[in-house]
Amino acid sequence: MFVPNDFPGRRALSRLTGLFLLILLTALPLAAHGDPADFDMKKMFQGDAHISDSKDIVNRYLDQDVAVIDMHMHSGSFDNMGPLGQAFVLNAIPLPLPDEVKRNLARVIADLTRHPFTPFVGIRNECRKAGLSAAVLFSVYTPEAWGVEDNATVIGHLDDARNFYRGQPFFYGFASISQVDWAENEQNALAELDRALSHPKMVGVKLAFAHNVEPLDNPAFDSIYQMAERHDAPVYHHIGSSPLRRFEDFPDEAGRQRYYRSFHPQFVEGTLQRFPRVRFILGHMGFDFNDEDVDGVDEVFRLARTYPNVYLEISAFGSDSHDPDGAVMDEILGKAKEYGLIDRVIYGSDGPGFAGATEKYKDKTFASMTRLGYTVEEVRQVMAGNFLAVTGLDQRSSFKLAPLRAEDTPADDLKPQTNPGHDH
């Protein structure tokens, strides 16, 4: 197989040769909510391995073309994960291997699958297999949990020459901010966030207080929202428990209460009130990922019905591990329709996950909307339109979404983009 010089996984691929059979047997949760239940080995052998930009993969609903944007993707590597994230991944490898072998295996898989531009198995290719028109890469600052994928790294991906699809940017970004030693580092952290949000493809702020066990109702972090308001950038909050932490992991009631305040939606209400001009995206809908009787879905809907600056993101909880028959997604999308909130529901998967997981989550979401009788216009809102509205991209005169069909694309925009000399 020819491997171009700019192939970002060139070195990783050479390390992969001796471990290939092990990889085929392994289902690694390399996304924030990945789970072996969602692994489909058949996807590694089905269809085209590499999707060229001239190939049409168009999502259809009631015989109409529908653009899809996935607002929740994670790039990164195994080594930039925190200790809890690494332990979660290693414990999920179903093979009796020494820890160091498992670590090397995890590194290889992450180097290949969590880089945006790796041919065949990278994030962009997985998104193309799902027929996406664009996607969002999240910066992350959760050093004890899923680790750090800093703003500079994500901006590097956004500025990469390969970040184009049919003449338009494919990846956009959400910046993030470190909460470590906040009292001492607040000003430096805010200055770094300010720089990141000045980038034209950084269109929002991603926060995960749950992973850092920082209470949502702590006004010390109000300066983050002030910065977001200054840039007219929406703020994404992880709302719902973390798969990396259970209440039993905390030694005392004070620790458990602090953790509860870091993810349950009731504790974000004061922030919504203090910052009515900031658009807040409540990610994961307050779902109880650990089944600990702390579900916040109803509270999230209450907040959305009360505050017009609240948007709802539907990632992760619809995976096979949490929602094998689609009942959870049906309930949530059904309530959104009942409450008149479809114009504030935003699609995301929390990918890339495993081979085919991005496509599978999208397909399950479409299936749920079909069962619920969503109209074509309602589907278009959820799958792309609401994201463009909440980020303000639809108000930019220079913004265009990539054409859904190659026949509508200038020939020069179908040529593959390269990043000369780029090698990992």
Whole-number pLDDT of residue 48: 52
Alpha carbon 259 to chain centroid, angstroms: 22
Q: What is the distance between the alpha carbons of residues 377 and 374, in angstroms, rounded to a whole number?
A: 8
In a domain, 414, yes or no: no
Backbone angles phi, psi at 116, to 5 degrees: -60, -35
CATH number assigned to the domain comprising residue 175: 3.20.20.140
Whole-number pLDDT of residue 92: 85
In a domain, 321, yes or no: yes
Q: What is the distance between the alpha carbons of residues 116 and 137, in angstroms, rounded to a whole number?
A: 9
Whole-number pLDDT of residue 349: 98
Bridge partners of 356, per DSSP, are none
In a domain, 77, yes or no: yes
* Other residues' Cβ atoms within 10 Å of the Cβ of residue 273: 11
In a domain, 233, yes or no: yes
Whole-number pLDDT of residue 418: 67
Whole-number pLDDT of residue 31: 53
Which tokens hold the place of 158? Answer: 């956004």
Strands 164-165 and 168-169: antiparallel
Q: What is the distance between the alpha carbons of residues 384 and 101, in angstroms, rounded to a whole number?
A: 41
Strands 140-142 and 147-149: antiparallel
Is residue 132 within 8 A of residue 358, CB to CB? The reply is yes
In a domain, 115, yes or no: no
Whole-number pLDDT of residue 35: 54
Q: What is the distance between the alpha carbons of residues 278 and 169, in angstroms, rounded to a whole number?
A: 25
Half-sphere exposure of 7 (CA within 13 A, CB side): 17
In a domain, 377, yes or no: yes
In a domain, 402, yes or no: no
DSSP helix, strand, coil percent of the chain (3-state; round to 5):
45, 15, 45
Which of the 8 DSSP states describes residue 326? Answer: S
Q: Among 6, 122, 4, 115, which residue's Cα sits nearest to residue 420?
A: 6
Residues 283-320 as b/e (b if ≥16 CB within 10 A, e otherwise) read bbbbbbbbeeebbbbebbbbbbeeeebbbbbbbbbbbb
Examine residue 352 and say whether the peptide bond preceding it is cis (omega within 30 degrees of 0): yes
Q: Which residues of the chain have pLDDT under 50?
A: 1-10, 12-27, 36-37, 39, 41, 44-47, 420-424
Q: What is the distance between the alpha carbons of residues 155 and 189, in angstroms, rounded to a whole number?
A: 16
* The total number of structural domains that make up the chain: 1
- Domain extent for 69: 60-82+126-391
pTM over 0.95: no
Q: Among 394, 303, 310, 295, which residue's Cα sits nearest to residue 346?
A: 310
Q: Among 26, 265, 67, 259, which residue's Cα sits nearest to residue 168?
A: 67
Whole-number pLDDT of residue 45: 43
Bridge partners of 317, per DSSP, are none
In a domain, 267, yes or no: yes
Residue 304: partners with Cβ closer than 8 Å, 6 or more residues away: 282, 310, 311, 312, 339, 341, 344
Q: Among 114, 126, 121, which residue's Cα sits nearest to residue 1?
A: 121
Measured CA angle at 241 (ends 306, 93), to 5 deg: 145
